[in-house]
C-alpha cells in the first residue's frame, strides 16, 4: 500500500487527526472554569516580529484517485501547496486576504499572530512563499493580545483598504486595525458589537468577517447592497430554528440575520467576490467520514435584518481529496478575467494535520 493511501486511510478512520483537535478543544473549554498557566494558552504564539522560513511542496492533483480530473463542481483546480516551517509559531492559519493580483497576503493565526508575505507563481501555478514575516497582534495598549485571557483565538479577518478587522472567537470581540499606522505593528481597537454577538457559544462564535466596500464603482452610483457594512458570521451560533446566526455591523441597516444550516455544516469563512457574489466556506466533521468541506453562494441582496438566506453549493470535497481543516478563503481576479479562489487550512499545530494552500478557478 502506498504511503499516500495509507495516510489517507488513517485520516479517514482516525478522523484526520481531529482527535488531537478534540482533546485540545476540550482542554481549552475547561479553561473557562479553571484558567491554565499562560504558557499553555499561547504555546505557539508569535511573541515578536520575525522573518519566517516556509517550505512548500506541490500538490499536483486535487483528487489522487483520479489524476485526470480537474473539475470539481463549479471549480477548476489550479494548484496547491503543502506548507511547513521550522518556526514553531507557523500554523493555525484561520483566515487569509490577498492583494488584487493574488500575490501579497495577510493571514491570521488562531494563536494571535499575523503572517505576511508573497505567493510565488510559475506558469500560473503556486510555487512557494517568499518574504514571510510573523508578528503578534497588538491590543490598544500596544501589547500582544495573547496577554489577555482567551483573547488569543483570532479566527477571522476582513480587509477594507488600510483597515483590517480581526474576529476573536472565544471572547466574541472584533478588533479594528489601521494599517496606515505601522502595518502589522498597528494597535487594535475594539469594535462595538451587537448584544447577540456577545451571547454566541464559547468556541463556536465569530468565525468569518466580510466588509462590503463603499463606493465600489468610484462615484458612478452603483454601490453594492449593504455598502459600508461589516458582516460577521458565527461558526455555530444557532437561532431558534437551528439556523446559523450572523450580524450586520455598521452600514445602513445593522441587525441580525440567519443562514440556513443544512447537513450539519458550520461556517468557517466567507468572501465577497468582485462581482458582488457572497461565498461561504463551510465544513463538518464526523468520526465516520472525517472532514467534509463545501462552498455555498449566498445572495447579498437578500441579506437584511431578520432575513433567512440560503444558496446553492458550488463545491464539495472530503478526505478523498487533498483537503484538511479548511478555514480560510479569499478571491482575486487574474489579468485574463478569471476569478481565483484561494483556500487555506488550519493545522491546529498538530503533527497529524497539514497547512494547505489551494487555488481554484471559478468556472461558473
Q: Which residue has the higher pLDDT, 275 or 63?
A: 63
Residues 119 and 105 sit within 8 Å (Cβ to Cβ)? yes
Closest to 108 measured CA to CA, from 31, 165, 38, 48: 165
| Cell 466574541 sits on residue | 172
Q: CA 168, CA 152: separation in Å to the nearest integer?
A: 7
Residues 244 and 258 sit within 8 Å (Cβ to Cβ)? yes
The least confident of 13-17, 24-28, 40-44, 74-78 is 24-28
In the chain, % of residues over pLDDT 70? 86
Closest to 53 measured CA to CA, from 102, 111, 109, 115: 115
CATH number for 59-362 (one of 1.25.40, 3.40.50, 2.30.30, 2.115.10): it is 2.115.10
Q: Judge residue 299's burial from the number of C-beta atoms within 10 Å of its C-beta, 0-12 exposed, 13-18 middle, 19 or more buried.
A: middle
| Cell 449566498 sits on residue | 298
pLDDT at position 216: 58
The one-character DSSP state at 15 is: G
Q: What are phi and psi of 208, to 5 degrees?
A: -150, 140
Q: CA 207, CA 94: separation in Å to the nearest integer?
A: 9
Give the end-to-end CA distance of the chain in Å, rounded to a whole number. Answer: 37
Q: CA 17, CA 59: separation in Å to the nearest integer?
A: 20
Residues 270 and 280 sit within 8 Å (Cβ to Cβ)? yes
Q: CA 242, CA 259: separation in Å to the nearest integer?
A: 10
Which helix (H) or strand (E) segment is 27 a member of? helix 18-30
Beta pairing class for 255-259 and 308-309: parallel
The least confident of 16-30, 48-62, 250-264 is 16-30
Chain segment 142-193, per-residue pLDDT in tens: 999 999 988 889 999 999 999 999 999 999 999 999 999 999 999 999 999 9
CA-CA-CA-CA torsion sign (178, 184, 190, 195): positive
pLDDT at position 41: 52
pLDDT at position 166: 98
Chain segment 85-112, per-residue pLDDT in tens: 999 999 999 999 999 999 999 999 999 9
Q: CA 138, CA 183: separation in Å to the nearest integer?
A: 11
Give bridge partners of residue 209 from the DSSP assignment. 232
Amino acid at each position: 500500500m502506498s504511503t499516500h493511501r495509507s495516510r489517507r486511510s488513517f485520516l479517514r478512520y482516525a478522523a484526520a487527526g481531529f482527535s488531537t483537535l478534540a482533546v485540545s478543544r476540550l482542554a481549552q473549554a475547561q479553561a473557562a472554569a479553571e484558567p491554565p498557566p499562560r504558557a499553555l494558552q499561547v504555546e505557539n504564539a508569535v511573541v515578536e516580529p520575525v522573518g519566517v522560513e516556509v517550505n512548500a511542496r506541490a500538490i499536483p492533483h486535487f483528487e489522487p484517485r483520479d489524476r485526470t480530473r480537474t473539475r470539481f463542481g463549479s471549480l477548476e483546480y489550479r494548484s496547491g501547496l503543502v506548507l511547513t516551517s521550522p518556526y514553531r509559531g507557523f500554523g493555525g492559519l484561520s483566515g487569509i486576504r490577498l492583494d488584487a493580483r493574488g500575490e501579497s497576503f495577510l493571514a491570521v493565526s488562531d494563536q494571535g499572530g499575523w503572517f505576511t508575505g508573497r505567493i510565488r507563481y510559475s506558469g500560473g501555478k503556486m510555487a512557494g512563499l517568499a518574504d514571510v514575516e510573523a508578528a503578534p497582534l497588538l491590543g490598544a495598549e500596544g501589547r500582544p493580545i495573547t496577554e489577555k485571557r482567551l483573547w488569543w483565538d483570532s479566527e477571522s479577518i476582513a480587509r477594507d483598504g488600510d483597515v483590517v478587522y480581526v474576529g476573536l472567537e472565544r471572547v466574541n470581540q472584533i478588533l479594528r486595525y489601521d494599517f496606515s499606522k505601522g502595518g502589522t505593528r498597528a494597535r487594535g481597537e475594539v469594535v462595538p458589537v451587537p448584544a447577540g454577538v456577545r451571547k454566541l457559544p464559547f468556541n463556536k462564535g465569530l468565525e468569518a468577517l466580510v466588509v462590503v466596500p463603499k463606493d465600489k464603482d468610484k462615484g458612478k452610483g452603483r454601490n453594492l447592497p449593504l455598502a459600508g457594512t461589516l458582516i460577521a458570521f458565527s461558526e455555530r451560533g444557532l437561532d431558534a430554528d437551528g439556523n446559523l446566526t450572523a450580524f450586520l455591523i455598521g452600514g445602513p441597516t445593522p441587525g441580525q440575520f440567519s443562514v440556513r444550516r443544512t447537513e450539519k455544516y458550520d461556517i468557517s469563512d466567507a468572501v465577497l467576490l468582485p462581482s458582488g457574489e457572497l461565498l461561504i466556506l463551510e465544513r463538518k466533521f464526523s468520526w465516520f467520514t472525517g472532514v467534509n468541506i463545501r462552498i455555498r453562494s449566498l445572495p447579498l441582496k437578500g441579506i437584511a435584518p431578520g432575513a433567512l438566506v440560503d444558496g446553492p453549493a458550488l463545491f464539495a470535497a472530503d478526505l478523498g481529496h487533498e483537503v484538511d481543516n479548511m478555514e480560510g478563503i479569499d478571491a482575486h481576479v487574474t489579468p485574463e478575467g478569471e476569478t481565483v479562489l484561494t483556500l487555506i487550512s488550519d493545522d491546529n499545530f498538530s503533527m497529524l494535520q497539514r497547512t494547505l494552500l489551494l487555488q481554484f478557478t471559478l468556472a461558473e
